[in-house]
Structure 1
Amino acid sequence: MFELRLLCPEDRVEPVSDALEALEALSVSVEDADEGTGAERALFGEPGLPPPASGWSRSRVVALFAHEAAAREAAALLAPQDFFAGCAVRAIAPVAEQDWVRLTQSQFEPVPITPAFWIVPTWHDVPAEATHAIRLDPGLAFGTGTHPTTRMCLRWIAAHPPAGQRVLDYGCGSGILAIGAALHGAAGVDAVDIDGAAVQSTRDNAAANGVQLMAGLPDRAQGLYGTVLANILATPLKVLAPLLCGHVAPGGALVLAGVLERQTEELQAVYAPWLALEVADAEDGWVLLTARRD
């Protein structure tokens, strides 16, 4: 395998990338050419805010080809094109053979939620100190235990075991919160998501962990629950306020995540007609909001 490395100004990245795909590149990636220098700049902003820029002023475009001849032919075909003006070929070089599966797996280590509660990929052994462990591999659905919002929700579950309760995981993603609730004694767990792939992922992960739960689309959520979990983002959480609060049983808990610290008061105001949200945890700029129904 060979890579063709190009340097492109911001306004040339899209047409060059499209051309590389048309020339049957196996993949095309775009990076900040000034990464690690004083000219480096952030491209992606915080959730809910527009990005500070649409692209980098200078981008490194890397295209992979199966053979050196294909990479050189692509470079030769691009050079005379009008849209290639201002671009430059930096290199055509072989890509070292790697065990991509092992390389990917090495990025995911067991994640401690508490000293006794861990998220463990299937290629790792469960730590000896773990009394509860969720076996979970990275997949299409959100929720591997590495994000602060997921960790905070799982910490809350471990500290407030829903033993004997009905639990609702709204926006279940991979099903990690629903599985965590089941492992901590929930009597029944409904996990719902608008994404069919997330629903299937939840079912598969529940089966792999030997827990029973019901996963489906949002209309599966029916009645009252002792614990209602929703790890989404602030905007949908605002829209869902009456629905989520309506599912919380007397004496039950509402647990919300996906909220940035600066969004706390806004969420509290939206939920005030139904429940009084309080900050129960915080990590890396994110907060966990919880409330109890009298």
Structure 2
Amino acid sequence: MFELTLLCPEERVDTLSEAFDALDALSVSVEDADAQTDAERALFGEPGMPAPREAWTRSRITALFATRAAADEAGALLAAQDFFAGCEVLGVAEVPEQDWVRLTQSQFEPVQITPEFWIVPTWHEPPAGAVQTLRLDPGMAFGTGTHPTTRMCLRWIARQGAATLGRVLDYGCGSGILAIGAAKFGAAPIDAVDIDPAAVQATLDNALVNDVQLAAGLPERAHGVYQTVLANILATPLKVLAPLLCAHVAQGGHLVLAGILERQADELKQAYAPWLPLEVADSEDGWILMTAARG
């Protein structure tokens, strides 16, 4: 495979990306051309909100093609277009053959939740001292244990006993990691629900790998009340779901919410106040875990 690299101003990024798509590029990536220099600028938006800008002032666009001829032809075609003004072809280079599976796997190491509880990809052996492990590989659904919100939820689960967890609802289950974690610590029965059928299937597949019992389906599967209701989504949908999630919490039960930034704590408290009193139970890297109990 061969990669064609261009240098372009911010306003040309979208046009060139669309042009590469029309030219059947296998992939297109955009990077800050001034990265690791004094001119480098961060370009990150908060979850659920758009990025402050579409691209960097000077962007490097790299498109991957199957052959050298296709990459050279794409560069020549683009250079002849009016919209290429202000852009520059930096070159075409061959991409070395790699074991992409092994390379991807090397990026996912076991994740510590507590000293005794670890998330371990299937190609790794459990770390020494791991008493409880959850086997999970990266896939199509959200939730590998690397994000602070997932780790905080799992830490909360690990600190509870089976009697405290009881019947569990994992609302917005993604990979099923929270539902499986709850099962590992004795919760039963467990319902895991998501609006994405791919997430439902990922949850069932991951439950099978971990040899735990749970039921998974679309949101209408959730019914009745639960001793523990888990929802690791984002602040905006959590606010919308407040009456629904609270209605599923049994007397003496617990509500556990994540996907919330520290600055959003008061918003969530206000949204849930008519039903349950939320409090911050944990924090990590700017994210918080909020919980409530129905007395």
Detail structure 1 runs of 4+ shifted over 4 Å in the superposition: none
Report what 1:25 is aligned to.
25
Determine helix, strand or coil for the equivalent of 2:180: helix
Q: How far apart, CA to CA, are the structure 1 residues paired with 2:17 and 2:288?
A: 38
Q: How far apart, CA to CA, are the structure 2 residues paired with 1:53 and 1:84?
A: 21
Query: Is 2:140 aligned against 1:130?
Result: no
| Offset, 1:44 | 2.5
Q: How far apart, CA to CA, are the structure 1 residues paired with 2:129 and 2:273?
A: 41
Report what 2:176 is aligned to.
175
Report what 2:160 is aligned to.
160
Instruction: Give the alignment's TM-score, normalised by structure 2.
Output: 0.97
Query: Is 2:88 aligned against 1:77?
Result: no
- Size of the alignment, in residue pairs? 294
Report what 1:199 is aligned to.
200
| Offset, 1:15 | 1.9
Report what 1:185 is aligned to.
186
Q: How far apart, CA to CA, are the structure 2 residues paired with 1:53 and 1:15?
A: 15
Contact 1:238/1:270, CA 8 A, preserved across alignment: yes
| Offset, 1:127 | 2.0
Determine helix, strand or coil for the equivalent of 1:263: helix
Q: How far apart, CA to CA, are the structure 1 residues paired with 2:120 and 2:19?
A: 41
Corresponding letter in the other structure for 2:248: H
| Offset, 1:2 | 1.3
Report what 2:261 is aligned to.
260
Q: How far apart, CA to CA, are the structure 1 residues paired with 2:224 and 2:162?
A: 17
| Offset, 1:51 | 1.9
Query: Is 2:263 aligned against 1:286?
Result: no
The structure-2 alpha-carbon separation of the partners of 1:243 and 1:29, relative to structure 1 and needing over 3 Å to count, comes to: same
Contact 1:2/1:64, CA 8 A, preserved across alignment: yes
| Offset, 1:48 | 3.6
Determine helix, strand or coil for the equivalent of 1:173: coil
Q: How far apart, CA to CA, are the structure 1 residues paired with 2:74 and 2:46?
A: 37
Q: How far apart, CA to CA, are the structure 1 residues paired with 2:203 and 2:57?
A: 41
Task: Name structure 2 gaps, 5 residues minimum.
Answer: none
Alignment of 1:1-294 (within 5 A): 1-163=1-163, 165-294=166-295
Q: How far apart, CA to CA, are the structure 2 residues paired with 1:217 and 1:50?
A: 28
Q: How far apart, CA to CA, are the structure 1 residues paired with 2:18 and 2:282?
A: 45
Q: How far apart, CA to CA, are the structure 2 residues paired with 1:99 and 1:161?
A: 43
Sequence identity of aligned pairs in percent? 74
Q: Deviations over 1:19-65 (max 9, x none)?
A: 22222222111111111122222222112433211221111010111
| Offset, 1:262 | 0.3
The structure-2 alpha-carbon separation of the partners of 1:50 and 1:28, relative to structure 1 and needing over 3 Å to count, comes to: closer
The structure-2 alpha-carbon separation of the partners of 1:144 and 1:20, relative to structure 1 and needing over 3 Å to count, comes to: same
Determine helix, strand or coil for the equivalent of 1:92: strand
Q: How far apart, CA to CA, are the structure 2 residues paired with 1:3 and 1:13?
A: 17
Corresponding letter in the other structure for 1:19: A
Corresponding letter in the other structure for 1:237: L
Q: How far apart, CA to CA, are the structure 1 residues paired with 2:79 and 2:291?
A: 58
Corresponding letter in the other structure for 2:117: F
Q: How far apart, CA to CA, are the structure 2 residues paired with 1:283 and 1:269?
A: 22
What do you get for the CA RMSD once the two structures are aligned? 1.2
Contact 1:161/1:181, CA 8 A, preserved across alignment: no
Q: How far apart, CA to CA, are the structure 2 residues paired with 1:220 and 1:24?
A: 42
Contact 1:162/1:226, CA 8 A, preserved across alignment: no
Q: How far apart, CA to CA, are the structure 1 residues paired with 2:274 and 2:69?
A: 67
Determine helix, strand or coil for the equivalent of 1:228: strand
Q: How far apart, CA to CA, are the structure 1 residues paired with 2:73 and 2:276?
A: 64
Instruction: Give the alignment's TM-score, normalised by structure 1.
Output: 0.97
Determine helix, strand or coil for the equivalent of 2:162: coil
